[in-house]
Amino acid sequence: GNSVTQMEGPVTLSEEAFLTINCTYTATGYPSLFWYVQYPGEGLQLLLKATKADDKGSNKGFEATYRKETTSFHLEKGSVQVSDSAVYFCALNKGNAGNMLTFGGGTRLMVKP
Amino acid sequence: KAGVTQTPRYLIKTRGQQVTLSCSPISGHRSVSWYQQTPGQGLQFLFEYFSETQRNKGNFPGRFSGRQFSNSRSEMNVSTLELGDSALYLCASSLGQDVSEAFFGQGTRLTVV
């Protein structure tokens, strides 16, 4: 079946540090890949997405590149802010008729001033 | 436009009871998906409805059921509640095409005592 594995947290960084959150997936075919962010007490917000190999998704300074050869979709940001503190989820959608997301376990990011 | 609305935000129920949760999707969206979020199991897909028909189903017991109305609003029902059903239940709405962006509500926090 489909699965997503992401690095366990928490990840604690100082403001302006470089962020990488690793995500790898297992799926047949060509799934679409997503990063979602969850702030305390809220639902999930789509951060970025990529729908085919070598696509780069980007938003709010965050980037991730769909690497089919390594089945990875690592999230990066060059300079984190305190406001980026949240839980980040990597997810995939197989796309075979429907919107069914398979999520990774989530990575909590804590950014200190 | 209005986002995804889930009601109620919080619920406390007793073991053995049943509960109904409601989700109003974004206007024009025809797909509604439900997810269960727990600290131990993370985010797990329950089911998806599209145009009043269940299109996908996750691996949950039959106590978990749902439906979708002609106006795309959806309800999910959990019967014979167990302590392990305590979770944040998230609803996501999408336009309906395959791999369309999912917009999440803030969730309903269900506590079973």
- Per-residue pLDDT 10s for chain A (113 aa) are 889 999 888 999 999 999 999 999 999 888 999 999 999 888 899 999 999 999 999 999 999 999 999 999 999 999 999 999 999 999 999 876 678 899 999 999 999 99
pLDDT value for B1: 63
Which residues on A lie below 8 Å from B33 (Cβ)? 99-101
pLDDT band at B95 (very low <50, low <70, confident <90, very high): confident
Which residues on B lie below 8 Å from A6 (Cβ)? none
Residues A83, B25: Cα–Cα separation, whole Å: 28
Interface of B with A in 12-71 (CB under 8 A): 31, 33, 35, 42-45, 48, 50, 55-56, 58
Interface test mutation site (partner A, options B6, B24, B43, B72, max chain A beta carbons within 10 A): B43
Say if CB A101 and CB A2 are below 8 A apart.
Answer: no
Tens digits of per-residue pLDDT, B7-30?
999 999 999 999 999 999 999 999
Cis amide bond preceding A10, omega within 30: yes
With tokens 């935000």, the residue in question is: B9
Residues B35, A101: Cα–Cα separation, whole Å: 9
Max CA separation in chain B (angstroms): 39
In the numeric block, which tokens belong to residue A27? Answer: 């799926």
Separation in Å, CA B48 to CA B18, B72, B79: 21, 12, 19
Chain B residue whose CA is closest to A31: B99
Half-sphere exposure of B8 (CA within 13 A, CB side): 8
Distance from the Cα of B85 to chain A's closest Cα (Å) equals: 18
Rounded to 5°, angle at Cα A64 from A85 and A107:
35
Cis amide bond preceding B25, omega within 30: no
Closest C-alpha among B62, B30, B70, B61 to residue B48 = B30
Residues A16, B17: Cα–Cα separation, whole Å: 50
Separation in Å, CA A43 to CA A34, A52, B70: 15, 26, 25
